[in-house]
Amino acid sequence: MKITILGSGTGLPSLERCAAGYLLQSDHRVDLIDCGSGILRQLEQVGVGFQSLDGLFITHTHSDHIGDLTALVHAFRLPGLEERSRPFHLFGPPGFQDFFNQVVQPVASPPTRFPFLIREVPKRWQMDDLTIQTCPTRHSDRFASVAYRFEQQSQSVVFSGDCDVDPEIIALSHQADLLICDCSTLAEEKVAGHLCATETGMIAQQAEVKQLVPTHFYPINGPDSQRLAECTQHYSGPITLAEDFLTFTLPSSEQSDQRQTPPDH
């Protein structure tokens, strides 16, 4: 599996970090996890057209995670696209179907030329070569949010979405090859519903993950190296701070991980 960080930022506009979005390419699928504002352009930057997507997995419906959702649905209806017959799968947390019907569909109706399937996530299911698991996360009192774990053979990656400390996210992340985890602030700026850097490291350590990628960075008073320092207070494994366009290729049992940044972005 190959994972590309398309957006490592938040709802605050930034020239350095796009809003939340991640590209997951497995042997037989191309999927997005979250689709914040600007993510469709980020896809073009890495040479993956939106029409090649097989699915989109939404962690929750805050605008920095769904800002380009309406644009994506609308784009699928525009003329001049290559014909497709394979379905597109749109997953979201409990309550997502009502959100789509009330917020997205009045502005952009789903395409009719191919199956466009909307589903609220189950606990565990199989799609092509992927086994997918979810758990609820502690983020907002107003609507549900979920984290995702994707497994292909012996490889696994977890996307926490926005979350707070909770046994369920630790259990979902257990011994994952890669944990891409909320790391919104430093400890002194901790905000309920998000992880600070020390908590991000603590979750990675308790879950015994093989590699940690802190992401979803709000501005802090200091360099990002402070996030790294706080994460390492609890987590002793390898840490790579998220950057837009950073890629990770998960290892097989015989390989070590490979990371690269595309040369042009």
Rounded to two decimals, the pTM is: 0.94
At 115-169, the pLDDT tens digits run 999 999 999 999 998 999 999 999 999 999 999 999 999 999 999 999 999 999 9
pLDDT mean across residues, the chain: 93
CB atoms within 10 A of CB 85: 7
Report the CATH superfamily, name and number, of domain 2-260. Ribonuclease Z/Hydroxyacylglutathione hydrolase-like (3.60.15.10)
Give the per-residue pLDDT at 158. Answer: 98
Q: How far apart (Å, rounded) are the C-alpha atoms in residues 121 and 71?
A: 22
Rounded to 5 degrees, what are φ and ψ at 99?
-60, -45
- Least confident range of 69-83, 120-134, 150-164, 178-192: 69-83
Identity of residue 224: D
Q: How would you classify residue 193: left for phi > 0, otherwise alpha for psi between -120 and 50, otherwise beta?
A: left
CA distances from 221 to 44, 189, 198 (A): 32, 10, 16
Confidence of residue 265 (pLDDT cuts 50, 70, 90): very low
Answer yes or no: are the C-beta atoms of 180 and 209 closer than 8 Å: no
In the predicted model, what is the mean pLDDT of residues 107-121? Answer: 95
CA-to-CA distance for 121 and 142, rounded, in angstroms?
18
